Amino acid sequence: MNRNNTIATTALAAAIGLLSAGSATATEPCGDFGECKVLVEINSSDGDIGFHFLMDGDELRRAALFNPSHRKLFGYSTRRELGEQYLTETFAESAEPLCFDPTSDDDPENDDEDFVTLTDFLDRWDDGTYYFFGISDGWELSLGESELTFNLPAAPAELEYEEEMDGDDIEGEISWEPGDDLGECSDGMELLPMAPADVPVAAWEVVLEPDVDGIVGSYTYVVRIPGDAEELEVEVPDDYLETLPDNTPVKIEVGAIGFDDNATFTEEGDICVNETEEDGCGFDEDDDED
């Protein structure tokens, strides 16, 4: 082992010892990191669930994430060109398997698809303190902590998009209602420490993804509003809508973001903006009824 590897390994070992002894405490924003967090994200419409994490430091050449039992979950070390440039922000998402069994007699193609129920997910992951470590360009150690909880906010419900013309201006509005479950991932909610409907919402995230020339998401509009907003609706800027072609298919998503950063999203597709005629986007009416 070379000298640099020895320094890094020794520093991480010492840091784990400090954290195990309870003498290392995180301060805002996240110890020595600009930001670090671990969270659970659910898509209640598609029915999938995943683990996400983020760390943001200065000129990191090495970094690692450890679970509450101080077992390493993730680590990286920069090499070659990246070893000279270093890293700052690292964001990762686990695979997001379905949270329900998709097997059915009507759709045998799903027989081989992986799924991890909410119960399985809760058994797989430990709640508690996750530890972030980083080694900077000058071989300085960065430490941070983030709490993973299973306080999962309920999925937004009753998503709607309404559009009308006001002279030459287009007025678009996305609205929704608070939900009371996790949609397709609701099986196993009795194991959660708090009912999703009782989990406070820190912010609502609203996403509009247009399909322009067969490319979805290139011109995405995203905005957040406070979780305690009196009216759960967002006006889509007319100068943004005017940049989209007539009869543009879009998908809207609304996410409930909890104070622990856990998020539950609901999506609604087959929406037409800048519609110039009835059924201007060509959606099948039978699909809309489904």
Give Cα 170 to chain centroid, integer Å.
Answer: 30
Do 263 and 170 lie in a common domain?
yes
Q: Which of 118, 148, 178 is the last residue of a domain?
A: 148
Q: In the predicted model, what is the mean pLDDT of residues 130-147?
A: 93
Residue 261 CB neighbour total at 10 angstroms: 20
Q: Return the pLDDT at 114.
A: 80
Q: Return the pLDDT at 280.
A: 79
Does position 10 have pLDDT exceeding 50, yes or no?
A: no
Does position 282 have pLDDT exceeding 90, yes or no?
A: no
Q: Return the pLDDT at 22.
A: 37
Do 111 and 166 lie in a common domain?
no
Assign residue 57 the CATH number of its domain: 2.60.40
pLDDT per residue as tens digits for the range 147-165: 999 999 999 999 999 998 7
Q: In the predicted model, what is the mean pLDDT of residues 90-114?
A: 76
As for how many domains the chain has, the answer is: 2
Do 139 and 170 lie in a common domain?
no
pLDDT band at 137 (very low <50, low <70, confident <90, very high): confident
Do 23 and 114 lie in a common domain?
yes
Which of 276, 273, 271 shows the shortest CA–CA distance to 287?
271
pLDDT per residue as tens digits for the range 192-243: 999 999 999 999 999 999 999 877 778 999 999 999 999 999 999 999 999 9
Domain of residue 58 covers 3-148
Q: How far is CA 23 from CA 17, 20, 136, in A?
A: 9, 8, 22
pLDDT band at 103 (very low <50, low <70, confident <90, very high): confident
pLDDT band at 15 (very low <50, low <70, confident <90, very high): very low
pLDDT band at 275 (very low <50, low <70, confident <90, very high): confident
Do 192 and 144 lie in a common domain?
no
- Cα separation, 73 vs 274, in Å, equals 46
More confident residue, 5 or 141: 141
Do 171 and 139 lie in a common domain?
no
Do 137 and 214 lie in a common domain?
no
Mean residue pLDDT across the chain: 86
pLDDT per residue as tens digits for the range 178-188: 999 999 999 99
Do 67 and 177 lie in a common domain?
no
- Cα separation, 193 vs 191, in Å, equals 7
- Cα separation, 49 vs 158, in Å, equals 21
